[in-house]
């Protein structure tokens, strides 16, 4: 009885995912159609303002020339203190993650030490331990904690 209800629940969950995917996909299509219809007016080019109309029209200037900009006046401007602070925070976060990963790999945990010791144990020692009825060879102790959420707390 529980097997049938489990299958039915899994089928309903799968159906809900398909319905959600279809709703999201169709809504993206509808939004794209609405935007394309709403923005059907001709655009006025902003990149040719202030240029000479010689030789068949103005050439666009997508990439500004060096030193043609202006200094930041408000905190949100390019090159302002907010942008530089954001860059600094991003670099500090990436650096912190790199240091923590490096430190974690340099200092093996007790579980990793036990794993490395088990990797170096020979097949003969394992067979002897099984024949003697013990799980671990002499001198080995199991000092690892139970897995998180295993209920043995």
- Matching residue, tokens 């991003």: 90
Per-residue pLDDT tens digits of the chain, which is 153 residues long = 455 566 666 677 788 888 999 999 999 999 999 888 877 666 565 555 555 556 565 666 677 777 777 787 877 777 788 888 999 999 999 999 999 988 877 766 667 777 777 777 766 687 788 888 776 555 555 555 555 655 544
Q: Show me where the domains of the chain are located.
A: 1-31, 80-137
Confidence at residue 99, expressed as pLDDT on a 0 to 100 scale? 93
Residue 25 pLDDT? 95
- Residue 153 is predicted with a pLDDT of 43
**Which residues fall within 8 angstroms of residue 48, CB to CB, at 6 or more apart?**
57, 58, 59, 60
Contact 82, 90 (CB under 8 A): no
Q: Tell me, what DSSP letter sits at residue 79?
A: T
């Amino acid at each position: 009885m529980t097997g049938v209800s489990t299958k039915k629940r899994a089928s309903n969950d799968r159906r809900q995912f398909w319905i959600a995917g279809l709703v999201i996909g169709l809504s993206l299509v509808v939004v794209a159609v609405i935007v394309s219809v709403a923005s059907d007016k001709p655009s006025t080019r902003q990149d040719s303002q202030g240029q000479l109309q010689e030789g068949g029209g103005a050439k666009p200037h997508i990439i500004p020339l060096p030193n043609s900009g202006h200094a930041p006046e408000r905190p949100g401007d390019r090159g302002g203190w907010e942008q530089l602070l954001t860059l600094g925070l991003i670099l500090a976060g990436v650096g912190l993650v790199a240091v923590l990963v490096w430190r974690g790999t340099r200092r093996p945990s007790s579980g990793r030490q036990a794993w490395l010791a088990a990797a170096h144990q020979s097949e003969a020692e394992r067979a002897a331990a099984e024949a003697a009825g013990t799980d671990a060879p002499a001198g080995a102790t199991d000092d690892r904690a139970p897995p998180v959420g295993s209920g043995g707390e």
